[in-house]
Structure 1
Amino acid sequence: MRTLYDVQQLLKRFGIYVYIGKRMWDIELMMVELKKLHENGLIENDEYLPALLILKQEHRKEEEQSKK
């Protein structure tokens, strides 16, 4: 797992499609959904941690772009 698209595909396996319209909000909602999947034991740490890292990196990028 290396990209935001990969995280979207992971969520898609569970029937979770996220599109709010603003990229930052999409990423935040994906984080919530990912955490719920992990808390409920549907995904293990080997999928959860890389996906969470990708989402945090993408969120940081969006914050930096919005400041410019």
Structure 2
Amino acid sequence: MKNLYDVMQLLKRYGTVIYTADYKADLELMEDEVKELYRLQFISAKEYASALLILRQKKVEYDKK
């Protein structure tokens, strides 16, 4: 996984599409969904770590604006 689009495609693979028109809320909801997918063992530890890293980087970038 390299970017936010890849994280969104990962979630879409499991039937989750997140769009609330609030970018920061979207990132938080995506993070919650990724955690839940990992907890239920749908995704690997590598996918989990990569997705969380991307989402947290996007949060930091958004907060700097």
Which residue of 2 is the match for residue 47 of structure 1? 47
Count of matched residue positions in the alignment of Structure 1 and Structure 2: 65
Normalised by the length of structure 2, the TM-score is 0.96
Normalised by the length of structure 1, the TM-score is 0.92
List structure 1 runs of 4+ shifted beyond 2 angstroms: none
Q: Deviations over 1:23-67 (max 9, x none)?
A: 1110010000000000111111111101110000001111111xx
Q: Percent identity at matched positions?
A: 43
Unaligned runs of 5+ in 1: none
Opposite residue 12 of structure 2, the aligned amino acid is K
Which residue of 2 is the match for residue 4 of structure 1? 4
Which residue of 2 is the match for residue 64 of structure 1? 64
Unaligned runs of 5+ in 2: none
